[in-house]
Amino acid sequence: MAKLVFGMNQSLDGYVDHMAFAPDPTLFRHFVEEARGQAGSVYGRTMYEIMRYWDEDHPEWNADEHAFAAAWRKQPKWVVSRTLTSVGPNASLVGDDLEGAIRALKAERDGEIEVAGPDLAQSLTELGLIDEYRIYLHPVVLGGGRPYFAGPRPPLRLVSHDRIGEDVIRLTYVPA
């Protein structure tokens, strides 16, 4: 059975914004390895459209960026959207039954399935489907934006913490 994992970079004040701060090279390599090992990813429409950036090579990319793109393209992706009618390579749309579709994915797969995006994560949290939360805490303060938890924070229990690179702490929680 697969484990559903929601993990994102977060500011000290609880916000996620891929344009305001980015992973350093060490953390980016960590994300390359994560992508290589994942059984797939579940996206909401907005996060999926952001991640489509990795569908095509860019001449300015370094070796790590090419490695991430290759890993991302290889893994299956499931996109939860009421507005999209088609998705790109190695991706499929999730129908109206979010809970049934995600329960089926968890039952038929092994390994970790990434959940990407706070709104989708909130919906899956409310359904009791997220098995683990990974907060990559960066030493920046944004003062506003999209919060990591799009709704009330669920009861959580810290199971591990580790430093990745110079400035980031990964906090791993499970539902309490």
Q: Give the confidence band of 61 by pLDDT, cuts at 50, 70, 90.
A: very high
Whether the per-residue pLDDT at 63 is higher than 90: the answer is yes
pLDDT tens-place string over residues 105-148: 999 999 999 999 999 999 999 999 999 999 999 999 999 999 99
Q: Provide the CATH number for the domain around residue 53.
A: 3.40.430.10
Q: How high is the pLDDT of residue 95?
A: 83
Whether the per-residue pLDDT at 22 is higher than 90: the answer is no
Whether the per-residue pLDDT at 18 is higher than 90: the answer is no
Q: What is the mean pLDDT of residues 77-104?
A: 94
User: Mean pLDDT across the chain, nearest whole number?
Assistant: 96
Order of all β-strands in the sheet with 3-10: 91-94, 77-80, 40-44, 112-116, 3-10, 132-137, 168-175, 156-164
Q: Which residues contact 14 (CB under 8 A, 6 or more apart)?
A: 147, 148, 149
The number of domains in the chain is 1
Please give the residue range of the domain that contains residue 140.
3-175
Q: How high is the pLDDT of residue 45?
A: 93
Interatomic CA distance for residues 89 and 69, integer angstroms: 13
Q: Give the confidence band of 96 by pLDDT, cuts at 50, 70, 90.
A: confident
Interatomic CA distance for residues 94 and 82, integer angstroms: 9
What 3-state DSSP class applies to 112? Answer: strand
